[in-house]
A and B are shown apart, each in its own frame.
Chain A
Amino acid sequence: MKILIKEVTLINTGTNESGAVRDVLIDNGIINKIAQAGTLSDPSATTIDGKKKFLSPGWFDMHVNFRDPGEEIKEDLMSGCAAAMQGGFTGVLCMPSTTPPIHSKAEVEFVLNKTKNELVEVHVAGTLSHEQKGKDLSEMYDMASAGAIAFTDDKHAVQDAGLLTRALLYSKNFGGKILSFADDNSLSSKGQMNEGITSTHLGLKGIPSLAESVMISRDLQLAEYTGSPIHFSTISTKESVELIRNAKKKGLAVTADVCALHLSQDDSALENFDTLLKIKPPLRSREDITALHSGILDGTISAISSDHSPEDTENKEKEFDLAAFGASGLETTFSLTYSSLINKLKIEKIVDLISNSPRRILGLKEITIKEGENANLTLFDTEQEWIVDGSTLKSKSKNNPFTGKKLKGKAIAVINKNKFFLCS
């Protein structure tokens, strides 16, 4: 397949051509030619007008739930990949919270085999504990040999400090990356939303910031003790940012990502019991948002994820206490990220947070845009305004909190593995 993108602005190429306007010819999955704008033409190629659009390395989302195996009614690997492409992502890291959890070689291979022909490069995180029960180590080495690149119990946060210590030590043998979702269950127990003024107004049980920061504090000590790197998934509080910032200063190998929703929405958005915004960690305060932004600016937080968590209507359209946590996010993450950060951060930096930076965290190869390289690319428009329409979203689940709302910035097309997808 031949694709010609004309007069497009290249960014984050990994070469000195970043920022240049070029014609790019992709042939058979390889970047065949990058030339002065307006100089290339090929009648046999699908030609796309790239004027006022950007071409960057394919985006990567390091925190998605595709619910397959087990809850295919909410999402399956194919619909998950479709949602990723629609959102502009050519790579994802799947969390292991499936049914059964991805806790052995069999599930890892299942996911990788089933998605090997997809445009989206699907990576897998295996559980850290056997059956995701938080008691004994999972067969991490076996899973790593089968292709798992990270290990985490995801939202089933590891309560047992001894277990996490053993996981951090054990994974050193083969370089498995440990991800931690920080949540002390005894502090967050049965909490429904951020503990704050709004939870007080609504009479809903609060999840204190403390439930997150106490665990981050613990985990940082464990990482220091074991000398192992650790990554914190979807942090949400100002205390967490501060702890991680200090740990980095101290020289610990610690990284963190934040979910795009936490950069723009605060907990007052729940004033009408909107279950679509019931997520974990919960939406926090304005102050926390400010701290998360500053964490991004100074590099404390080095990736933005969607925390894509598809849930069917039956689990969302109900009493707040009973509704499931989680929001569908892959298809709106770029718009949210771009809108909340563009006044503070250059576009190159924003795009890095959702493309090569998460790849670096996970030890994956960075994508560059130059002749001869595999074409793993996202074409996007920062100016396009669009209305989120539930019926055109590719995810099987419709729990996107922005349904019906107008957003700015959108992926136009993705290219990877000699496949091409035009976003609708």
Chain B
Amino acid sequence: MGALSVKHLLGIKELSLADIELIFSTADTFKEVLNRPIKKVPSLRDVTIANLFFENSTRTRLSFELAERRLSADVINFAASSSSVSKGETLIDTVNNILAMKVDIVVMRHPHAGAAQFLSRHVEASIVNAGDGAHEHPTQALLDAFSIREKLGEVKGKKIAIVGDILHSRVALSNIFCLKKLGAEVMVCGPTTLMPRYIESLGVKVEHNLKNALEWCDVANMLRIQLERQDIKYFPSLREYIQLFGLNKQILDSLSKRITIMHPGPINRGVEITSEVADSDQSIILNQVENGVAIRMAVLYLLAGHVK
């Protein structure tokens, strides 16, 4: 088995195509392990992993923790409220604490873009970015692409529409980087006020009509509307957002083809997508969750190669 070209997983930006393919093939193996009666492997015995969550997270944290335990790593968890982060000293202090505790891998989620890079400049440990502000969320993008590959055979040449709040979304950004590297065509769709002005520089198509975007794509990744990230109102009301960008069964059935529906979770049922759509056989939302564990096992396993 090969090795990653990077010591940290800070973002998809830094990964090569070979890195992504290596992560996928490793995840294939782990996915098979996860379906065995005994799901635990001893690969990361004696490796200590710290999960630092400076921002609320349930599913990503659980997914990482499960991946770590399946690999037999020693796990410590640290959660801090965003309010203490904004006081400023926390990250530097955390850095020093990590140094003292001799942690091998740090998984960190942080409300500010660039926090993972900041940490990687100051500590010896390998850093896994579990989401930093509106910058990157690489494991999410990897599991999304992995799920598309599983469902459609390959990612190359496929058309993926990312729908919702593109401006505040690290999932969108990482997905764009990852899908483009894998040779997919990417379209972003959402309200004009939530579209970064220079988004086309990333080589994506821009569409503001949901129906058009869905008609174009093979897969629609419906992002969560993150009202908590919006300091000002970018659209007048959720009602209006739903009218323009909410995906319901009626629209889905009106399309000329069957498309695949994804969502990074947690779903605002009845906002981005209705329950009917989320639970339909076109949705691979729960496969994404399952693949998340396999992808995170693969990433941790491969980074541990740099630790040893």
Contacts and interface: CB of A to CB of B under 8 A. Distances in A.
B198 A319 contact: no
Identify which of A196, A200, A203, A320 gathers the most chain B CB atoms within 10 Å of its CB. Answer: A203
Nearest to B87: A322
B232 A189 contact: yes
B113 A317 contact: no
Nearest to B110: A319
B92 interface: yes
B118 interface: yes
A283 to B, nearest CB: 15
Contacts of A190: 231
Contacts of A273: 113-114, 117-118
B196 interface: yes
Size category, B interface: 20 to 34
Contacts of B112: 319-322
Contacts of B135: 202-204
Interface in B70-103: 86, 88, 91-92
Given A190-B231, A318-B88, A320-B112, A200 B199 contact: yes
Interface string B106-136: 0000101111011000000000000011111
Contacts of B115: 319
Contacts of A197: 198, 201
B170 interface: yes
A204 B113 contact: yes
Contacts of B233: none
A196 B114 CA distance: 17
Nearest to A271: B13
Interface in A246-304: 272-273
Interface in A297-335: 314, 317-322
Interface residues of A, number: 23
Contacts of A203: 113, 132-136, 170, 173
A201 interface: yes
B202 interface: yes
B308 interface: no
A318 B114 contact: no
A317 B112 CA distance: 14
Contact of B113 (A196, A202, A314, A318): A202
A101 interface: no
A420 B54 CA distance: 53
Contacts of A314: 88
A43 B291 CA distance: 85
A187 to B, nearest CB: 11
Contact of B118 (A195, A201, A319): A319
Contact of B117 (A196, A201, A272): A272
B197 interface: yes
Contacts of B133: 203-204, 321
B139 to A, nearest CB: 16
Contacts of A201: 13, 173, 202
Interface string B169-201: 010010000000000000000000000111101
A208 interface: yes
A87 interface: no
A204 B91 CA distance: 18
B198 A195 contact: yes
Contacts of B170: 203
Contacts of A80: none
B230 to A, nearest CB: 11
A336 B136 CA distance: 34
Interface string A96-139: 00000000000000000000000000000000000000000000
Nearest to B133: A203
Contacts of B88: 314, 318, 322
18 contacts: A189-B231, A199-B196, A200-B197, A200-B198, A200-B202, A201-B202, A204-B113, A204-B135, A206-B196, A273-B118, A317-B92, A318-B91, A318-B118, A319-B115, A320-B114, A320-B118, A321-B133, A322-B88
For the complex of A and B, the 3 pairs showing the least CB-CB separation, nearest first, are: A273-B114, A203-B135, A203-B134
